[in-house]
Structure formats: structure tokens, C-alpha cells
Amino acid sequence: MFARQHSLVPKLFCAILGFVVFVAAGCRGDRTDEPPRQFFPGLDDQPKFKVQGETDFFPDGRTMRKPPAHVVAFGRSPVLSYGSTAAERAIFDRIAARSRADLLRGDDRVYRGLNPDGSFVERIPLREVLSYGPDEAIDAEELREFIALGAERYNIFCAACHGGLGDGQGAVGKLWSAPLPSYHQEQYRPGGEKGQDGLIFSRIRNGVANTPGQLPELKMPSYARQLNEYESWAIVAYFRVLQKSQNGSIDDVPAAQRESLMRTQPAPTQGGGV
């Protein structure tokens, strides 16, 4: 009995070795276009249409279909709320709401800078741009970040012509055949003839037309390809900050900082001598 079991060991070993050699022979590194054999197919092989794919299911052979009539875009993410705290969820909800609004672009005040009668909005529709409800208090830190974004984009796309202060003295702007205006002039300030926030927004989005018959057609190009609506409004907000900084007075400085600021000013000159 023991001798018979002992004699089976070499045979079993040879059988296992032969199986290993047989399997290894099928893994020589050869390439093939044949699909791999899967004993438990995963979801990566599920039937589905891919972008720009073909199918004989539809008469025109295209996998990509137009949305049904009257369908309303809702959002790019299936997640409706995120975050462990109420503050985090509120921030996420505003981002999601802004994303959904961007799909429709249905509010002309936000996406064109126009009132229902076609006139330019006087002020930034800030609550709608930041996706705040009518009764929500706008977070000061979020507003600072919004203006900081405008400063960053302004310095990238606008300062070369309009100058770092918005005075038209940028390195490129000074070389133009016609001088660029200083936006610190009264007509460009709030309440001025050309002081509507919607007008500045429209110029960022659409450019400024040249004199009829002259080329190029736009003397200031559109930046709609480089900047979305949110970034464009951020530039408008920073633009107003520049105006305020260059046309303000010491009384505009908060009392807590006013005293320390005054101490940094040079002492007035005494008499007329040197």
C-alpha cells in the first residue's frame, strides 16, 4: 500500500510540471488582435456606445444622438450634495448650481450683462454670479477670492494694454496709434456715460468694434475663448477695485488702519527753504 502511494508521487509531479510547461508555452509574449478569454467578464466589457462610434442600430449609423426635444440640462455631476459640515455642503451646492446654470445660460444679466430691455446692467449681478440665494449672506472670504481671481486674470489678459492700474499705460497700449483711455475718467466710473458693469463685461466677451471700414474689425479682440463668464465678472469686480484705489481718499481707509497708514507718510516741508 505504501509502495503504491510512493510510486504515484513522481507521476503526479510530472503531470503538474507538464501542465505548467503547457501554460507557460501559451505566454511567450506574442501579440494578437483576438480578444482575451475571460472566465468572469467584468463591466469593462459591457455593451455601450462610445463617442464618435458607429452602430447599425440607428439608420444613420451614428452612436451619438441629439437630445430629445424640450430636454433641460441639469448638471455634469450626479452628486447633489457633498461635505461633512453645513458650510462645506453650502459651498458645494453653490458650485453645483453654477455648473447647472452654465449649461443653460438662461439669465441674460449673468451671461450677457443685459437687462430684459436690452440695456446694460449697472452693477454686477453678484448673487446670481456667485450662486447665492436672495436671503443668503455673501461670505466675505469668497468675495475676496472672487476679486483675487479677477486680479489674476486682469494681469494676464488686460494689463498689457490697459496697464496695471487701468490707466491705459500698458507696455502694448502705449504703442497704439490712438491712445487708450484711462478708465479712471469720470465717464467710466459708476454712474458715468460708459460706467455700466454690463458694458465692461460685454467688451470682455465681445471685443470693441473698430471704425467702420477699417481693419481689423475689432480694435480690441474678444476674450470669450480665454475667459468664461464667471472670470469675466471677476475682472469687472477687480476693475472697480482699481478705480476705487486710484480715486479714493484717506477717509475711505478703515479707522483701525488709518492711523498706522498716516504714520508712514513723510512729514510736510517746513518754510520754503531746503
Structure confidence at residue 270 (pLDDT): 58
Per-residue model confidence (pLDDT) at position 166: 93
User: Which phi and psi angles does 12 have, rounded to 5°?
Assistant: -65, -40
User: What confidence tier does 247 reach under pLDDT thresholds 50, 70, 90?
Assistant: confident
**Where residue 233 falls among pLDDT bands split at 50, 70, 90?**
very high
Percent of the chain beyond pLDDT 90?
A: 43
Nearest of 255, 234, 9 to residue 144 by alpha carbon: 234
CA distance 27 to 32: 12
| Other C-beta atoms lying within 10 Å of the C-beta of residue 97 | 16
Residues 78 and 84: beta-carbon distance below 8 Å: no
Give pLDDT, residue 274: 37
Per-residue pLDDT averaged across 216-243, rounded?
A: 95
pLDDT at 5 over 90: no
Q: What is the predicted pLDDT for the residue at 217?
A: 87
CB-based contacts of 166: which residues, under 8 Å, 6+ apart?
A: 182, 183, 184, 239, 242, 243, 246
* Confidence at residue 2, expressed as pLDDT on a 0 to 100 scale: 44
Q: What is the pLDDT of residue 98?
A: 85
pLDDT at position 88, please? 83
**Averaging pLDDT over each range in 24-28, 218-222, 237-241, 266-270, which range is the top one?**
237-241
Q: What is the per-residue pLDDT for 80?
A: 63
In the predicted model, is pLDDT for residue 57 greater than 70?
A: yes
Least Cα distance to 131 among 86, 92, 188 occurs for 92
Grid cell of 232 as nine digits: 469675466
User: For residue 131, is pLDDT > 80?
Assistant: yes
Instruction: Round to whole Å and give the CA distance between 129 and 231.
Output: 10
Q: Which among 177, 143, 172, 175 has a CA at the least distance from the CA of 157?
A: 172
* pLDDT value of residue 134: 86
Chain segment 17-29, per-residue pLDDT in tens: 766 666 665 555 6
State yes or no: pLDDT of 273 exceeds 50.
no
Q: Is the pLDDT of residue 6 over 60?
A: no
Residue bearing the bigger pLDDT, 215 or 54? 54
> Three-state SS string across the chain, please?
CHHHHHHHHHHHHHHHHHHHHHHHHCCCCCCCCCCCCCCCCCHHHCCCCCCCCECCCCCCCECCCCCCCCCCCCCCCCCCCCCCCHHHHHHHHHHHHHHHHHHHCCCHHHHCCECCCCCECCCCCHHHHHCCCCCCCCCHHHHHHHHHHHHHHHHHHCHHHHCCCCCCCCCCHHHCCCCCCCCCCHHHCCCCCCCCHHHHHHHHHHCEECCCCCCCCEEECCCCCCCCHHHHHHHHHHHHHHHHHHCCCHHHCCHHHHHHHHHCCCCCCCCCCC
pLDDT exceeds 60 at position 165: yes
Q: What is the band of 120 on the pLDDT scale with cuts at 50, 70, 90? A: very high
Residue 268: predicted pLDDT: 62
CB atoms within 10 A of CB 200: 22
**Whole-prediction pTM value?**
0.69
Q: Which residue bears the cell 487708450?
A: 180
Question: Is pLDDT of 243 > 90?
Answer: yes
State residue 126's pLDDT score.
Answer: 96
Q: What is the mean pLDDT of the chain?
A: 84
**For residue 242, which of 173, 172, 188 has the smallest C-alpha distance?**
188
Q: Are 243 and 235 in contact (CB under 8 A)?
A: no
